Structure 1
Amino acid sequence: MTRPSIPELLERLGELDEGERIEAKRGQQAGKSILETICAFSNEPGLDGGFILLGVEKDPGALLDVYAPVGISDPDNVINTLATQTREMFNVPLRPEVWQERVNGKLVIAVRVHEASAEQKPVYLKATGLPKGAFRRIGNSDQRCTEDDLNELYQGRATGSYDDTIVPDATLEDIDAAALEDYRAERRKVNASAEELEYSDNDLLKALSGIRQDSRGTWRPTVAGILLFGTSIALRRFFPLMRVDYIRIIGKQWIEDADHRFDTVELRAPLMRLVRRTEAAILDDLMKSFRLPEGQLQAQQTPAIPQRVIREGLVNALMHRSYRQHSPVQIIRYANRLEFRNPGYSLKYEERLGEPGSETRNPKIAAALHDTNFAETKGSGIRVMRRLMEESGLTPPHFESDRPDNRFIATYLFHHFLSAEDHQWLRQFQGADLSGEDARALIYARETGAVTNAAYRDLNKFDVLTASKRLKRLCDQGVLESRQKGRATYYELASAWTQVRASEDDTGGAPATPDRPGSGIPDNGLAIPDNGLAIPDNAPAIPDKPPAIPDTIQAQIASLGGRSRKTDVQNVIVELCRLRPFTLEELAHELNRTPKHLSSDYVQPLVRSGALEYTIPDQPKHPKQAYRTTEKDKK
């Protein structure tokens, strides 16, 4: 990892969600607080250490989090003292990197602390001893280790993983022979000549680390053995909360209200069977689009999210979750997105998600899923999901690893980027200097309620610093507002714009803006990059300069009012689409109505009745979708 400059570290401090790896201190000398932070960075598993900046402080007058240098008066003394203390005051000698730079004329010291090896942990202050002398990095604070923390750090020294440990009180009777046969069937599909297919049940369990010998030489099931091949009774007995909850929510936000109850389907089974059952439950519930391939008589159904993305997301949640934590995997289906929530933060640091190489806390389970093609072990799952979502014209997925709450969240929007309705909605931000990347972030905030630095990075493939600058610029322009929840910073649409959203359906016309209430907004030339979707060859082109609308149809349009009969509006739409294909945005402009209202109340009923058809039938939500009259209607 390249060493960042001190100005780069100062800018990262502006994002609280990065605070777990950076600590700022004004102190002019090395002291107890700095040593506790060094100890915490050394101990925290999977954090890869962290950085300490000395001689800086937060600007109390700044609207957003801004850190400024105040300088170190005697940097040589601080550096020499740190080197001595880190070498002598801990139970193991530590060797942090220390350097200094001048920022705005002030000397600032940076300390890079490396994570200690598993054999060295727990690192603690010798004078204080255990447990009070050991610290962990939780969020952006240093916490004294509890007995549970020390047990976790000591267990990290062991060569075996948790899924390779014996389950107390479990016996071979807790293994389901049918689950073993299920494994054989899946393995046979991958490699029909695999040697282990000829093993007896006991030998197969030994090969897969499903059973191990205890201190008395008796073969007993391991955690992996029960989770992969356990009977239903054994799963409930030993892992009562190791299930998948598929939750269906009405609307776009979680509402814990007795009057707005949600539906939950609880699924329990050995892992490979659980993957198939959960995948089927999701696919049966998701909305689908229909397409009729050329030369075929049977229509094909395509789920709102590619099936392989669903499979990858589900397997990742079950394979990488923490089985020490007794809580279920939750899959929440909102009106506009699917969220996978599993206990256990990612062992791979968030900025490296999608890079080659896999780090799993359950290697025995991962190996069995890999052998049956349920999972891969090269760390390419997230990269594949991103590619498939983008190829389908969908919003890139967002992945959040939350260490303090020990959970991982993957979000997949059903939303296609960037539709005609999105273009129409974005026009309300007249005067704002928006890039295409900003547009993606604003639409994500509209759909989910907020956007974070990590989400901006996922959407646009930016680094932390660039995302931070872009988000702060949107705040400066009054488009977003910064919020804090605990240690994290997130950004919501500014209140003026959320009021615009609420008024769209009330006005019956083009959306209003804070500075021009009730007025239609002309195209401000916002450049939004193409999402890469190709238009089929047989889709009719819409001319750059479409022919003028005949006077007779213009007269019909002029006669329409805000309370016109539905059939009158639909007749005008059909007449327009008989002239040439019209996009939803064009129809909304001609009829002075919002695209959302026009689509739901007029256009989609015409499509369902057969009066109109898509110009791109196999991709109903394609951003360049248009409508034309059907051959039947023309006759």
Structure 2
Amino acid sequence: MKVGGKLADSTLYQLISGGKLADTDIEQLHESCRIEAKKAHDKLPESIWDTYSAFANSEGGLILLGITEDSRHQLHITGVADPDKLVRDFWNTVNDRSKVSATIITDQDVAIRHSERGDFIVINVPRASREDMPIYIGQDPFSTERHRGAFRRNNDGDYHCDREECRAMMRDSGDGPLDRRVLTDFNADSLSSSAISAYRRYFKQIRPAHPWRNLPDLDFLLRLEALARTQNGDIHPTVAGLLMFGHDHHITQEFPNYFLDYREELGGNRWDDRVTSGDGTWSGCLYDFWQLVYTKLRLAIPHPFLINNESRRMDENPMDTAVREALTNTLVHADYCGRRGTVIIRRPRVLEFSNPGRLRMSIEEVEQGGLSDTRNPTLMKMFFLVGIGEKAGSGFDTMREGCDFAGTSHPTLVASTQPDRVTLTLQYIAAPTDDRPSSESVEGPRWTLHSHLSKSEAEAFKHLMSRKELSTSELAEIMTLGNSRARDLLRSLVQDGLAEVIGNGRSTRYRLKTTEVSSPDGQAN
């Protein structure tokens, strides 16, 4: 079920602004996820509060009193007998905390309108702030009694929120960061040492003068807020630390629905390549997943030859940045208590990023930019410290710039319910397969999985990623190298845990480790 449509009809803005409307303007409207019409001739219907709660807990909307919908789903003005009395009754009830949990509207949101067919009332219900959610009727948000409890909007109807939806809204209503909670049932051994090693190596490359760079691991993780010290002096992971660096079997003890899934669906097969957090061949943590998936995505993006002001080739383009931002946002905004896990799918020309949880701001606010309300700010900080992620509130602008550069349509954002999910779709231009030798040098910043590789090693790794398996002579021919130099490059990839040897003697070949994420020193996670 899709929600979150925009108030695109200009008539709606006229209704809010208070202009006198012709009857034909109303007849152009119909009930939807943002419009609800109620006859309300001489009293407020009980169902008005279901809709008030539903709009407040969804994307907001307009309640029209004195207007009915016919069998053809057209709206008609039928009028109210005493609009002033109905407005007073509305304010008396909405301000009664025994009947409605919060008042989220102002005087400007309620107005009486006049027409040739009668008076009607317009009530503009905005989306509630997450601090006020869930907005509910009566005393119990979990109630499923008629005209009691919390509601959400689904197309042109209101439905009761289930307990999972209510709890999710309550989690999001707190002031403190959700990912800073200390997990006293776990210790530092729950974290992957190789994931931490890979992160620290990258941290040193990005921030070579940072005062944390040479700290012992324990002190580094405490400052990063991946670990925290309790009042009795014991050290335990935080939620962010466990998600970022933990082993999958530990993460799923705390978050049973935790699941990371990357799929490439490029042909007739169900999938052409897949990486999942629970396959047991790598740690399953967010950092390792980010590295592995971004490398695969970046290889799919075309990289035209660009020169910067210093006459050096620019190895990263705006679409790279857009994809990096989309992947990072998907991981840091996910509600890891939610169902169905985090899924990234690469299809021909389209990338789809989907995470559990509802948006903490309206779709309009996200697309407009300038504001940020990260569900997991500690995770965001961890990524930011290694140069991953744009400044707060600029993510959607960054993705639009990438699409403009690539000549594709702007990204689309959709919020779904039951269960809550957010899906971002980003169109890209698929990179053609090209196994020809490359004489172009790689300059500037690197955002690849193994940024410690030399230029030649990185190029060899790219060809191995493309072909899955190579012999020494094949790589030598592709890269225009001698057999000895090609053999050294492949052996280096083996030492780094990126490739494995199959066969021996003249039959020796080197195969890509497709689901193995390795630390720079070659230790498997």
When the two structures are superposed, what TM-score results if normalisation uses the length of structure 1?
Answer: 0.54
Mapped to 2, the partners of 1:87 and 1:413 lie a distance apart of 47
What letter matches 1:226 in structure 2?
L
The match for 1:230 among 232, 235, 246 is: 246
1:120-174 deviation digits (Å, cap 9, x = unpaired): 5555444778634321324244333444344334434543333222346322210
Distance 1:146 1:77, change over 3 A: same
Q: For 1:5, what is the secondary structure of its paired residue?
A: helix
Residue 454 (structure 2) aligns with = none
* Corresponding residue for residue 321 of structure 2: 308
Asked whether 1:164 is paired with 2:164, we answer: no
**Is residue 329 of structure 1 aligned with residue 346 of structure 2?**
no
- Counterparts in 2 of 1:311 and 1:147: CA distance versus 1, 3 Å: closer
Q: Pick from 124, 127, 136: which aligns with 2:151?
A: 136
Mapped to 1, the partners of 2:266 and 2:406 lie a distance apart of 24
Aligned ranges for residues 63-212 of structure 1 at < 5 Å?
66-88=74-96, 89-90=98-99, 92=101, 94=103, 96=105, 97-103=109-115, 105-114=117-126, 122-126=134-138, 131-132=143-144, 133-140=148-155, 141-167=157-183, 169-212=185-228
The whole-number CA distance in structure 2 between the counterparts of 1:116 and 1:142 is 16
Q: What is the aligned partner in structure 2 of residue 263 from structure 1?
A: 272
Query: What letter matches 1:242 in structure 2?
Result: F
Q: Is the 8 A contact 1:13 1:22 kept in 2?
A: no
Among 322, 325, 347, the alignment partner of 2:360 is 347
Q: In structure 2, what is the Cα distance between the partners aligned to 1:409 and 1:13?
A: 31
1:313 deviation in Å? Answer: 1.7
| Cα distance change, pair 70–194 in 1 and its aligned pair in 2 (3 A) | farther
Distance in 1 (CA, whole Å) between partners of 2:129 and 2:428 is 42
| Residue deviations 1:473-512 (CA, integer Å, cap 9, x gap) | xxxxxxxxxxxxxxxxxxxxxxxxxxxxxxxxxxxxxxxx
Indicate the residue corresponding to 2:71 in structure 1: 60
**1:248 Cα deviation from its structure 2 partner:** 1.3
Asked if the contact 1:244/1:331 (under 8 Å) is kept, the reply is: yes
Percent identity at matched positions?
23
Structure 2 residue matching 1:348: 3-state secondary structure: coil
1:302 Cα deviation after fit: 9.3
What's the CA shift string for 1:292-326, capped at 9, x where partnerless? 989xxx999999x9322221221121121221124
1:33 CA drift (Å): 0.6
| 1:408 paired residue number | 422
Structure with the bigger RCO (C-alpha within 8 Å, sep 6+) is 2
Alignment CA distance shift 1:121-1:103 (3 Å): same
- State the shift of 1:102 in Å: 2.5
- The change in CA–CA distance for 1:364 and 1:12 in structure 2 (over 3 A counts) is farther
State the partner residue of 2:264: 247
Query: Contact between 1:75 and 1:109, CA under 8 Å: does it hold in 2?
Result: yes
Tell me which residue corresponds to 1:536.
none
Unaligned runs of 5+ in 1: 252-259, 417-635
Distance 1:301 1:225, change over 3 A: closer
Report if the CA contact (8 A) 2:152-2:161 is conserved. no
Counterpart of 2:387 in structure 1: which amino acid? N
Q: Using the alignment, how far apart are the partners of 1:177 and 1:289 within structure 2?
A: 34
> Is the contact between residue 24 and residue 53 of structure 1 (CA under 8 Å) also seen in structure 2?
yes
Q: How does 1:419-568 map to 2 (within 5 A)?
A: none
Pair 113,375 (structure 1): closer, same or farther in 2 beyond 3 Å:
same
1:325 to 1:391, Cα distance in 2 relative to 1, 3 A = same
Provide the secondary structure at the position in 1 that maps to 2:167.
helix
Deviation at 1:224, TM superposition (A): 0.7
1:239–1:326 contact (8 Å) kept in structure 2: no
Residue-by-residue CA offset, 1:317-352 (whole Å, 9 max, x unaligned): 112122112433222233342222222233231122
Q: Note the 1:283-322 alignment, pairs <5 A.
A: 283-284=298-299, 286=300, 288=302, 306-322=319-335
The Cα of 1:192 is off from its aligned counterpart by 2.6
Q: RMSD of the alignment, in Å?
A: 3.9
Cα distance change, pair 102–408 in 1 and its aligned pair in 2 (3 A): same
Amino acid of the residue matched to residue 81 of structure 2?
S
Deviation at 1:198, TM superposition (A): 4.5
- How many angstroms apart in 2 are the aligned matches of 1:289 and 1:150? 45
Whole-angstrom CA distance in 1 between matches of 2:28 and 2:264: 37
Can you list the C-alpha shifts for 1:554-610, whole angstroms capped at 9, x where unaligned?
A: xxxxxxxxxxxxxxxxxxxxxxxxxxxxxxxxxxxxxxxxxxxxxxxxxxxxxxxxx
* Contact in 1 for aligned 2:331/2:355 (Cα 8 Å): yes
Offset of 1:378 from its aligned partner? Answer: 2.0
Separation in 1, partners of 2:305, 2:16: 53
Partner of 2:374: 360
**Counterpart in 2 of 1:281?**
296
Contact kept? 1:336, 1:413, Cα under 8 Å: yes
CA–CA distance in structure 1, aligned partners of residues 344 and 292 of structure 2: 13
> Does the C-alpha gap of structure 1 residues 319 and 104 become closer, same or farther in structure 2, counting only changes over 3 Å?
farther
Pairwise CA distance, 1:5:
3.2
1:209 and 1:222 in contact (8 A); partners too: yes
- Change in Cα spacing, 1:117 to 1:346, as seen in structure 2 (3 Å) is closer
Number of the residue aligned with 1:5: 14
Shift of 1:181: 3.3
Asked if 1 retains the 8 angstrom alpha-carbon contact of 2:26 and 2:76, the reply is no
Report the 3-state secondary structure (helix = DSSP H, G, I; strand = E; otherwise coil) of the residue aligned with 1:357. Answer: coil
**Larger relative helix fraction:** 1
- State the alpha-carbon separation in 2 of the partners of residues 235 and 154 from structure 1: 22
Are the aligned partners of 1:336 and 1:415 in contact in 2 as well (CA < 8 Å)? yes
Contact conserved, 1:135 with 1:144, CA < 8 A, in 2?
A: yes
Cα pair 1:70 1:106 within 8 Å, conserved: yes
Q: Is the 8 A contact 2:403 2:428 kept in 1?
A: no
Letter paired with 1:176: S
Change (3 A) 1:333 1:165: same
Q: Is contact 2:370-2:394 (8 Å) kept?
A: yes
Equivalent AA in structure 2 for residue 174 of structure 1: S
Give the partner amino acid of 1:277.
L
2:396 is aligned to 382
